[in-house]
Amino acid sequence: MSTHIEDHQSDPNSRFKKEMQTRHIVMLALGGVIGTGLFLTSGYTVNQAGPLGAVIAYIIGAVMVYLVMVCLGELAVQMPETGSFSSYATRYLGPGTGYTVAWLYWLTWAVAIGSEFTAAGILMVRWFPDTPVWIWSALFAIAVFLSNVVSVRWFAETEFWLSLIKVLTVITFIAIGGAAIFGLIQVQSLQGAGLSNFTREGLFPTGFLPIAMTLLAVSFAFSGTELIGIAAGEAQDPQTSVPKAIRTTVVRLALFFVGTIFVLATLLPREQAGLVESPFVMVFELIGIPYSADIMNFVILTALISAANSGLYAASRMLWTLSDQGHMPKRYARLSSRGAPVNAIVLSMAGAVASLLSSVFAPDTVYLALVSISGLAVVVVWMSIAASQIAFRRQYVANGGRVEDLHFRVRGYPWVPIGALLCCLLACVGIAFDPEQRVALYFGLPFIAWCYFVYWITRNKRAERLALAAAVHSSGTA
């Protein structure tokens, strides 16, 4: 593998290899979304909001992600850039906002990657009880690092097959669960269940507020769809592949998530659906599928590796964007001869390792703050996408552009981006009423303020970097 690093030139996307096909982008988005949020924490939503409340919460989540993604689609097709929503926020909402969005998104994935490696190591100990967790975590970290460093094509193919395993598992779960619900599979332990879970304690046994309170968890479960925007800068034909990927992904996610929650809420009593065990395992065991725990152990393992894989990709592209905009040293905007931002990947992996270590040595202080900030960050990033689309459309029309000429446009403007903003705001308001999730506001809001402050005090240094880069480039082409 070549380790030669090439200087980044004036065209920010000219060095990236345009090797991602539509199937890669679709599976990248699905793979980034279908993970522990669905396989593990979906039971938490059923437990907190009740069966019907959980279904409603995921329907709201599906609507929210649809509204956000069509906004991102208009931006990404018109401006397919690797920086994606960070670049759009910089251009249309202000450089301070773009800077903050980039760091929020980077931190989200850095924290997630570290936790994925830890969880994957713990799962392997189930099969190999005499081995330490850290060995497996290190092996998975090396594999994910190589997947990202070799080339974007290698990364895309790896992510495609890892995601396919998860998608097939979800489809199988919904099919088998649906057969059990409608009596096509005779299961003794589920006889007489029917839809009684929805009425046994009343339609809303925990009230209406828990529906709003679980929206942050639901939003976190849907996070990863926005990877479509980042991948647009490395897509072969973004004007064709991005719209198709958005439509395909959003529809599939709505069916997968709402269908899964419906099956879980129907087959599992609310008080049994928690975080102790994967609700998928519980349902499979109720139905009588042999080796259920081992099967789901393998699937969740692939989900963790897939999430870490796509997370490292997203995090490294955010660092590349920050460097490209002059916020970080130029070396993080350099690419290998294969088109990979190696330095940005190394630093992102170092951030993930630091997050992992903080979970071991400072779980109640540093790690708690990191997790809290990352939980809120996804919703803030989505809000920036909707706000950027509103600002873009206004500027586009003001400059004489015709809406009909957009290759992909938001229908129902401005109500679609406004609806996206309101849904995201509802998720933020909901967590304010939950003592366990409220800490996300305590740490998240000060972190956002800190990002704006750092941007303000470093603006002169950034201007010097950009001026130096421009001078070097002009002398090199003279």
User: Can you give the pLDDT at residue 222?
Assistant: 82
CB atoms within 10 A of CB 363: 11
Q: Look at residue 14 and tell me if it is in a domain.
A: no
Range of the domain at 371: 22-469
Q: Which amino acid, residue 324? A: D
Q: Which amino acid, residue 78? A: Q
User: Can you give the pLDDT at residue 27?
Assistant: 83
Dihedral angle sign, alpha carbons of residues 7, 10, 12, 13: negative
Nearest 5°: the CA angle 375, 149, 118 is 40
- Which run of H or E residues covers position 415? helix 415-431
Dihedral angle sign, alpha carbons of residues 347, 349, 351, 357: negative
Strand, coil or helix: 454: helix
Q: Crossing angle of helices 342-361/366-398, nearest 10°?
A: 140
Cβ pair 416, 70 in contact under 8 A: yes
Nearest 5°: the CA angle 98, 92, 409 is 115
Q: Look at residue 316 and tell me if it is in a domain.
A: yes
- Residue whose pair of structure tokens reads 């900030």 in the numeric block: 373
Dihedral angle sign, alpha carbons of residues 330, 81, 224, 25: negative
Cβ pair 312, 113 in contact under 8 A: yes
Residue 20, strand partner residues: 235
Q: Look at residue 321 and tell me if it is in a domain.
A: yes
Rg for the chain, CA atoms, rounded: 22
Q: Look at residue 150 and tell me if it is in a domain.
A: yes
Q: Look at residue 12 and tell me if it is in a domain.
A: no
Contacts of 159 (CB under 8 A, 6+ apart): 24, 27, 28, 31, 147, 306, 309, 310, 313
Residue 85: closest CA among 379, 429, 409: 379
- pTM greater than 0.75: yes
Residue 377 DSSP code: H
Q: Look at residue 6 and tell me if it is in a domain.
A: no
Number of domain units in the chain: 1
Cβ pair 214, 57 in contact under 8 A: yes
CATH of the domain at 191: 1.20.1740.10
Query: What does the block give as tokens for 380?
Result: 């803030």
Q: Look at residue 169 and tell me if it is in a domain.
A: yes
Strand, coil or helix: 5: strand
Q: Look at residue 151 and tell me if it is in a domain.
A: yes
Cβ pair 56, 267 in contact under 8 A: no
- pLDDT per residue as tens, the chain (478 positions): 433 333 344 444 446 777 788 888 888 878 777 876 777 677 778 888 888 888 888 888 888 888 999 999 999 989 888 888 899 999 999 999 999 999 999 998 888 888 888 888 888 988 998 898 889 999 999 999 999 998 888 888 988 898 889 888 889 888 988 888 887 776 655 544 557 777 777 777 777 888 877 877 787 778 888 888 888 888 888 888 888 888 888 888 888 888 888 888 888 777 766 655 677 887 888 788 888 888 888 888 898 898 889 889 999 999 999 988 888 888 898 888 888 899 999 999 999 999 888 888 877 778 777 877 887 888 899 999 999 999 999 999 999 989 998 888 998 889 999 999 998 888 888 778 777 778 888 888 999 999 999 999 887 777 776 677 666 656 655 5
